[in-house]
Amino acid sequence: MSHQIATPEQHEHELAALRLIEHPIVREAYDRVFQHWLTEMDPSPAMRACYDWAFREVMFSAAIWSSNQDPLRPKVIAITRLEHPVGDQTVPGSRWGIDNPDSIYRVIPISGGEKYKIHGRVAERRLTENYFTLWDPNMNTVGLLSGHDLVLNEDRTFTITVDSDPADGRTNHIQSCPEAHEFYIRDVILDWALDEPNELRIERLGAEPATPPMSEDEQAELTASFMLRYADFTRGLSSGMLRGKPNRFALAYSADKGGALRNQFYVGGHFNLAEDEVYVVRVQDGGAAYFVVPLANVWGTTMDIVDRTSSLNKAQSVPDGDGAYTYVL
């Protein structure tokens, strides 16, 4: 296999998405959703200042994700990336949904009536967190396999079977259902100097597709609908973070619906600091192998994580004498 994320398939998909966002239907949706989201959020001056670049990222993520929705022609596609070059072109960032900077998010479309195999290979150093989550069309979990439960071959490769039948003795099996729509796969990088994401590829079993792929106009219409969906979904996420008074946590939950993962716990809030104020966060990890403290904006993207420190995880932090962690914003 090539690089785990920067695969030829990924690059081809990203370049196609660059062409897709120039389609007239998508351009019209871009302008319409821009005004819709801005009006609905009524942002503070600080949040308005980051809207233009954040909006571009969220909308490009919508183009990336919406163009991998064919369960008869599935691809393994990373949907949340920083800006990067592909050949002589610049591919925009595609962060959205209050992303975790340590997570690599990949999606694979499937149909509950089809059979698939997910082939992969893990690194010598196993990931602290890795989940193969099967979603319905509304991001509700209908199947889940933890990377900790993968049965590996001697060369660290694995195959996950996916179909509507029970496992019946098969290892690494995920039973799908009529509601099954796509896989949402999380690889969490704890130590960026040591950890590597899993290699993945998808194989659909059975006969060649009997129906043609979407036309350019059909794809553009789907992408336009994703753009509005992304804006409204993120507005809902941000409303939870903005609930209550600033400079405190207003949200704590764990779920297996709405894109959340039952194996993770989410705590959030918002801050509004004067020039002579700081925000102090104390974390007791409770024995958790992983946690992260990231900053994001109301548009659902994390902030500059390349040139500034706006996210720290457990491996990047030093505990206090009592084992807790203190962060000063």
**pLDDT tens for each residue of 93-138:** 999 999 999 999 999 999 999 999 999 999 999 999 999 999 999 9
Q: Smallest Cα–Cα separation from 29: which of 74, 59, 67, 61?
A: 59
- Poorest-confidence range of 1-10, 52-61, 112-121, 258-267? 258-267
Determine the pLDDT at residue 317.
98
What's the rounded Cα separation, in Å, for the pair 223 and 26? 7
SS3 category, 245: coil
Contacts of 128 (CB under 8 A, 6+ apart): 188, 190, 195, 289, 290
Report yes or no: 117 and 162 within 8 Å, Cβ to Cβ.
yes
Q: Per residue in 211-251, pLDDT tens?
A: 999 999 999 999 999 999 999 999 999 998 898 899 998 77
What's the rounded Cα separation, in Å, for the pair 187 and 102? 8
What's the rounded Cα separation, in Å, for the pair 177 and 69? 17
Place of tokens 């999606």: 107
Residue 64 has pLDDT above 60, yes or no: yes
Determine the pLDDT at residue 281.
95
Report yes or no: 119 and 203 within 8 Å, Cβ to Cβ.
yes
Residue 88 has pLDDT above 70, yes or no: yes
Average pLDDT, stretch 186-195? 97
Residue 1 has pLDDT above 60, yes or no: no
What's the rounded Cα separation, in Å, for the pair 25 and 217? 8
How many alpha carbons lie under 13 Å from residue 175 in its C-beta half-sphere?
7
Residue 304 has pLDDT above 60, yes or no: yes
Q: Which amino acid is at 56?
A: R
Determine the pLDDT at residue 216.
98
Residue 263 has pLDDT above 80, yes or no: no
Contacts of 61 (CB under 8 A, 6+ apart): 79, 80, 94, 95, 96, 230
Confidence category of residue 257, pLDDT binned at 50, 70, 90: confident
Cβ-in-10-Å burial (0-12, 13-18, 19+) of 11 comes to: middle
What's the rounded Cα separation, in Å, for the pair 199 and 160? 13
Q: What is the pTM of this model?
A: 0.95
Confidence category of residue 323, pLDDT binned at 50, 70, 90: very high
Helix axes 51-66, 8-20, angle to 10 degrees: 120
Q: Which amino acid is at 150?
A: L
Residue 253 has pLDDT above 90, yes or no: no
Confidence category of residue 29, pLDDT binned at 50, 70, 90: very high
